[in-house]
Structure 1
């Protein structure tokens, strides 16, 4: 019954592979279906994902196989009205569309935009908006092929057209009108900031920025809760905090702590649900249970929905195994003489682990400070372990680097991003970790040698015996 209802609305070729998504309906008779069908210009695509937005984050609710003629189709049962996204890669933004119950859409997908052949007035408006802002939001803005010399003129030419569109925009659909207003405010800002924050062959000086960039920064930002319907709102907010403080802000006399930065960022966000989204999206920066609890304690009041609480608690559970006092992981590696050295072999001393690589600039910048610290700790019950994550092909390069730099302590090679980095969730280096004389965790995201805090931490452990 359900399949035949869908098939009457779709081409025969698509009927067998159509994905039926029960977006909001419960069990029982099939309600009026929303149909999304069309073709994609991506000739390599084998699947299209339909993404809903759940409290500021996209969630795949259905997939459709792409036919040999590049066709796809979805049938959604009574979708919650709002923005959805169609994408060939769930990690990408994809094309924003608008769905409501009973819509019959036929679209030609092209990256993050679309052409509506038949459908709704809402998607006709979205298509028109996409056309206006395409010079600055389109897929043609490749990292190595576009510089500010071409992007800035395109941005300045697009801005008056975008403002004219906003002034003439009207809709009898109040829900769509509210969401469209936040989308129009966000799209150009997001693309303009992303352009500056993406590494390129050539970057402008601040005095070369168009005046538009100064208008982005406000004392209070993200006040409209409707912004939570945007699939990229989390990335948009994160990008804004970096842009406003690092790119447009004045360099502070002293470097603020991570918790000071968090407080400042939250104070700039107006809406409490968007504050909660920023908090939960920031959780990955806390590698220890203690650091997480200390940082988040003042802001638990913003986590009020079940999903907000779940996002936080799931992460809290994931870092509990790294709490101070937990046994350190018994990883191992090969020293410069080919001998295997295991973490447990080093018990009895305070162990300071430096996860690094020969290609890592920040790692090499820490080396003089580390060597000075090693000299100051000479004769004390401390072992320094250099844990290289260079790939196997660079093993001889690692050996030569250790020799040339006269690196002391225990130097081991763990063959790339291996067991130790996976266990401790290390995605960026250098990373310093400190363990006590019993091999128990003290801090798996310790201060760097270039700060006095690392030496103070080691001395504190030694004083305890």
Structure 2
């Protein structure tokens, strides 16, 4: 869900009037969810976040009025956890589904639920219990383990009973909250150990609760992705396992080793993308990610990786070409790196593209003139997956030579090289390094001259 901020936010007066209409006027739109309440005295705005693949995604802001009131109206919200933030300390977690009405009083480190759904009443009760230990994980807290550990040990054995008390009519929510209660406990316990304190315990002083956190194949359940803190949780867990380990490592664990901590592929992908910021060079990034790239299973994860690659390299001449993949006319996967050893000319095109087809005769003439030279021509089609047969038939009909690859839409090549229009021609040298990612077209003499210059250097 990626709504625009404007479309998700209705005027404050309209939101506050919603309850009046619900009583005295026509029935409101049943899919509209309304959140309203009081913000802390010095707060200027309240930000609303949805959860997308284990991360918080901002969807709207509400300015706080002179009475410290705020409100949101969300048309047809996707059911699940949302978060409210006033910009400091932790965020307030709520649960939304179409038709919900919530009224809250926000504080900087807590909140009071004044009115709301059965799900939010149950969630608030849990977060009140959780508050007995969560307040010790803020940067401003000066408590030590001598204060925190006894409270952790007091709450931990009570969680089983608290989960049994979760009994709203919403079975989906019940299962999510029960799962989240365990995740919350572990998250807070691990977070405390990594916070700066004036006194730190020895491992022998850790409560027994810490030993049960580490498990083989952690976070198998995809419900973790409904948690807006899932990204930080998986990174935290990797650090925690290192702290708890009795083995001495000659070097930090590789990304390939660390992803094996988790058994859910999407969560492995989440961990990988959360780790991308730790790489400072393009070579180190690709070396680490290549063995685990298959775990980047969602479009968002793949895009985050491409963005990380782009941030660590420039598209200047001499930079390594992106190792994209495509499927040839026989259904075989072909990677860019497989083509090294020759000058590589890539034509990004589509069967529906008039200018692309206009270049085809010129391209075929160029291929014929250079057919005995050390050059490979690659056609990379951005036709949609549904048009694969159309692409295949076109390639055969036009007797297109070289390496013809099907990219199934505007995929990794166009995203990586930020290609907005086609045809686009790109040239790479024999080592697979960039010569230009915006080459002249075959209908001009400049492309042939560029290729011949490279062949002369080889």
Q: TM-score under structure 1 normalisation?
A: 0.61
Residue 273 of structure 1 deviates from its aligned partner by 0.7
Q: Pick the aligned partner of 1:299 from 292, 302, 306.
A: 292
Corresponding position: 1:222 with 2:215: no
Residue 243 of structure 1 deviates from its aligned partner by 0.6
Corresponding position: 1:156 with 2:162: no
Alignment-derived partner of residue 10 in structure 1: 16
Corresponding position: 1:250 with 2:246: yes
Q: How far apart in 1 are the matches of 2:10 and 2:52?
A: 30
Q: Pick the aligned partner of 1:73 from 68, 71, 74.
A: 71
**Residue deviations 1:132-191 (CA, integer Å, cap 9, x gap):** 121111378554521011111111111122222013322331321232122101111111
Residue 256 of structure 1 deviates from its aligned partner by 2.6
Alignment-derived partner of residue 84 in structure 1: 82
Secondary structure at the residue paired with 2:300? helix
Q: How far apart in 2 are the matches of 1:302 and 1:103?
A: 36
Residue 195 of structure 1 deviates from its aligned partner by 0.6
Secondary structure at the residue paired with 1:76? strand
Alignment-derived partner of residue 52 in structure 1: 50
Q: How far apart in 2 are the matches of 1:276 and 1:141?
A: 28
Q: 1:143 to 1:205 in 2, by over 3 A?
A: farther
Q: 1:77 to 1:325 in 2, by over 3 A?
A: same
Q: 1:286 to 1:233 in 2, by over 3 A?
A: same
Secondary structure at the residue paired with 1:137? helix
Alignment-derived partner of residue 283 in structure 2: 290
- Aligned positions of 1:96-245 closer than 5 A: 96-138=93-135, 141-245=138-242
Mapped contact 1:93–1:232 kept (Cα < 8 A): no
Mapped contact 1:83–1:98 kept (Cα < 8 A): yes
Residue 6 of structure 1 deviates from its aligned partner by 7.8
- Consecutive unaligned residues in structure 1, runs of 5 or more: 13-28, 327-465
Mapped contact 1:288–1:323 kept (Cα < 8 A): no
Q: How far apart in 1 are the matches of 2:145 and 2:77?
A: 41
Q: How far apart in 2 are the matches of 1:263 and 1:119?
A: 45
RMSD across aligned C-alpha pairs, in angstroms? Answer: 2.8
**Residue deviations 1:227-249 (CA, integer Å, cap 9, x gap):** 1011111111111111112x211
Q: 1:237 to 1:219 in 2, by over 3 A?
A: same
Q: How far apart in 2 are the matches of 1:227 and 1:175?
A: 14
Q: 1:102 to 1:201 in 2, by over 3 A?
A: same
Q: 1:53 to 1:293 in 2, by over 3 A?
A: same
Corresponding position: 1:37 with 2:36: yes
Would you say how many aligned residue pairs link Structure 1 and Structure 2?
A: 305
Q: How far apart in 2 are the matches of 1:216 and 1:243?
A: 9
**Residue deviations 1:96-118 (CA, integer Å, cap 9, x gap):** 00000011111111235422211
Q: Pick the aligned partner of 1:321 from 314, 318, 334.
A: 314
Mapped contact 2:50–2:56 kept (Cα < 8 A): yes
- Consecutive unaligned residues in structure 2, runs of 5 or more: 1-7, 19-27, 320-458
Mapped contact 2:41–2:68 kept (Cα < 8 A): yes
Q: 1:111 to 1:324 in 2, by over 3 A?
A: farther
Secondary structure at the residue paired with 1:10? helix
The structure number with the bigger radius of gyration is: 2
Secondary structure at the residue paired with 1:220? coil
Q: 1:241 to 1:101 in 2, by over 3 A?
A: same
Alignment-derived partner of residue 462 in structure 1: none
Residue 220 of structure 1 deviates from its aligned partner by 1.4
Mapped contact 1:80–1:100 kept (Cα < 8 A): yes
Q: How far apart in 2 are the matches of 1:324 and 1:232?
A: 40
